[in-house]
Structure 1
Amino acid sequence: MTLPPAAPLPAGGLAEAKLEEDRAALIEAGRLLFARPCTFFYASQSIDQLPPMRGPEIAFCGRSNVGKSSLLNALTGQKALARVSVTPGRTRQLNFFDLDEGRLTLVDMPGYGYAKASKTLKEDWQGLMFDFLRGRPTLRRVLLLMDARVETKPADRAAMELLADAAVAYQIVVTKVDDVKPPQLKKRLAEIDALVKKRTAAHPLVMVTSSEKGTGIPELRAELAGLAA
């Protein structure tokens, strides 16, 4: 039996072609998942008000105004799934969103580091966050958002410590990359990569996104689709 002539291989050979094929399949899986209906279904202001555990959950956390709501809207292709507030610290509860009838639950966590909130209130939300993180076996990963425009703040480092103490796997997602020039972005990513290498709980892959321009959104969808039921 004679095999048909092989098609010309792309640069890099068969292995590179296979990687590109796998990447395209993951991107498509992410697109299909986030094209499904996503709706708000629950809000919690205390640990005893959490909804029953069901499918896998992905939580979004970060400093106030880092772009959590905008990222959720961009991922789901909706303009107002999560409300975007101009007032730091406006979101003070855990908001749960159902994607594709339980295949994945997206959790919008309260922002941290907001200056206008009282010290007591900040401590309360840190308590809620920690109790949620360490007591939720359905929580597959936490996305820790960091702003591309500013350096890592003490509150970000504290959040990384809290995530590590709660024994939760987390992944850094850099937001608003369209607002910085390439040299500044390169410097910022190098700073974040150095942080990640020092922390065993941090996922080694840093995602780079822009909710405004759509940069990195297909790749992030693909990453999350791999964690879905």
Structure 2
Amino acid sequence: MVKEIPGPPSPEQMEEGRKLFAGDCAFFFGAQKLEQLFEGNRPELAFAGRSNVGKSSLINALTGRKALARASSEPGRTKQLNFFNLADRLTLVDMPGYGFAKASKSVKEDWQGMMFDYLRGRPNLVRVVLLIDSRVGLKASDREICDLLDKAAVVYQVVLTKCDAIKENELKKRLEEIQSFLKTHPAAFPFILPTSSEKSLGIAELRGILSQFSEPV
């Protein structure tokens, strides 16, 4: 059973995370329909967020790759779950972005259909990392996804992205706003982590947190 982390990881956990994410990581499967999914044999961590939130950049920063996860040339267009094998100990799942204006209806349908079925029915899904753009905070689509995750009974942790792009006092205010919102959501993990893929802010800490879900060596 995974030990819950109420706050920043310890130095020992961060070292575990460094070693894990320094291992081999490669794409191995993509699914556009639920019936295409394979039976997972490793713990899965899913990354979710609005289009343009910096999801691909964060996954690349975590794994130390430049192009492991690739952003679509047209935001909101990607409609498949992408699976990555991390050192044979953990599976990272890149979920389709949501909330892009030109594709909002179809993306919402995907999330309420296949995505909800994946979230609700995946026994080895151990955590969802929900990315929120620190520059704009919670949007209506983010709030809808929080409700969806609550209904699916999947624990999710909010990670703020692009935190290098706002001032410290603005970041503090954003953290307080989101923390207050999450208090009303039973599936939300209480610790929010600020990150910046550009400046490597919070990356080591996030590795330390996520490594606690991996299979032992």
Q: Above 0.5 in TM-score? A: yes
Q: Distance in 1 between matches of 2:46 and 2:106?
A: 24
Q: Are the equivalent residues in 2 in contact too, given 1:62–1:111 (CA < 8 A)?
A: yes
Q: Are the equivalent residues in 1 in contact too, given 2:28–2:84 (CA < 8 A)?
A: yes
SS at match of 2:79: coil
Deviates more, 1:154-163 or 1:116-125: 116-125
Match of 1:220 among 182, 206, 209: 206
Report how far residue 116 of structure 1 moved.
Answer: 1.1
- Quote the sequence identity (%): 59
Q: Distance in 1 between matches of 2:104 and 2:98?
A: 12
Report how far residue 124 of structure 1 moved.
Answer: 3.0
Q: Distance in 2 between matches of 1:142 and 1:122?
A: 18
The verdict on how the C-alpha distance between 1:120 and 1:221 changes in structure 2, with shifts beyond 3 A counting, is closer
Q: 1:204 is matched by which residue type in structure 2?
A: P
Q: Are the equivalent residues in 2 in contact too, given 1:66–1:147 (CA < 8 A)?
A: yes
Q: Distance in 1 between matches of 2:107 and 2:177?
A: 31
Q: 1:75 is matched by which residue type in structure 2?
A: L
- Correspondences of 1:60-139 after superposition (within 5 Å): 60-101=47-88, 103-117=89-103, 119-120=105-106, 122-139=108-125
Q: 2:74 is matched by which residue type in structure 1?
A: T
Task: Give the aligned partner of residue 181 of structure 2.
Answer: 195
- CA-atom RMSD in angstroms: 1.3
Q: Distance in 2 between matches of 1:163 and 1:177?
A: 24
Normalised TM-score (structure 1): 0.87
Report how far residue 144 of structure 1 moved.
Answer: 0.5
Q: Are the equivalent residues in 2 in contact too, given 1:142–1:171 (CA < 8 A)?
A: yes
Does structure 1 residue 34 correspond to structure 2 residue 21?
yes
Computing the radius of gyration from Cα coordinates, the structure with the larger value is: 1
Task: Give the aligned partner of residue 143 of structure 1.
Answer: 129
The alignment covers a number of residue pairs equal to 207
Deviations 1:178-206 (A, max 9, x none): 01011111111111111122212110111
Greater RCO between the two (CA within 8 Å, min separation 6)? Answer: 2
The verdict on how the C-alpha distance between 1:178 and 1:134 changes in structure 2, with shifts beyond 3 A counting, is same
Q: 2:49 is matched by which residue type in structure 1?
A: G
SS at match of 1:52: coil
Structure 2: give runs of 5+ residues left out of the alignment: 1-8
Structure 1: give runs of 5+ residues left out of the alignment: 1-21
Normalised TM-score (structure 2): 0.92
Runs of 4+ in 1 over 3 A off after TM superposition: none
